Amino acid sequence: MSCAALSGAALLASVTTASATPAPVELVAPSALTLTVTHDGITSEAPKVALLNCSLPAVSTHPKTADACRDLQLAQGDFAKLNPSGRRAACTMEYDPFEVTATGTWRGKPVTHKATYANPCVLAASTGAVYRF
């Protein structure tokens, strides 16, 4: 085999090898939460449950995954800092409590959150899309 043919074969092999190597992927710690909403009023409804997976949105069962993940991202994963509207909402003073929980991980850190909101309006105003399922 001639020197030119060997050089061409070596060049082709290096191009093939280079293109088969995957591009570097930015690693992000997982963010997956199991969320529950329980109506604590006089009716006994089964708790609503949703999986919110911000790392792999395709496996989420949450109907507003993108919005809920955005709200949590803005709060840096701190449920106490959720304030999606940036202001107070005008809610009635009725007492119709809802309890919410979140367990799982946010950016790789363990999360355990539990809170009770006076009524659905206060819940929505305080948590945005996170518990809207």
14 in any annotated domain: no
> How many domains does the chain fold into?
1
Structure tokens at 72: 């949590």
The series of mean pLDDT values per 10 residues for the chain, 133 residues long, is 49 47 57 94 82 94 96 93 75 93 95 95 92 95
Whole-number pLDDT of residue 90: 87
48 in any annotated domain: yes
The 3-state DSSP composition of the chain as helix, strand, coil percent (nearest 5) reads: 30, 25, 45
Enclosing domain of residue 120: 28-127
6 in any annotated domain: no
Say which CATH number the domain at 93 has. Answer: 3.30.350.10
**Which of 84, 89, 111 has the alpha carbon at shortest distance from 100?**
111
Whole-number pLDDT of residue 123: 93
Strand segments, DSSP code E, in the chain are: 32-39, 48-53, 98-106, 109-117
61 in any annotated domain: yes
pLDDT digits (tens, 9 = 90+) for 48-67: 999 999 999 999 999 999 99
Whole-number pLDDT of residue 20: 58
Rounded CA gap, 120 and 97, in Å? 8
13 in any annotated domain: no
133 in any annotated domain: no
Whole-number pLDDT of residue 8: 46
Whole-number pLDDT of residue 1: 54
Rounded CA gap, 118 and 100, in Å? 11
41 in any annotated domain: yes
- The pTM for the full model equals 0.73
Contacts of 83 (CB under 8 A, 6+ apart): 75, 126
Q: Please report, as a single letter, which amino acid is at residue 129.
A: A
21 in any annotated domain: no
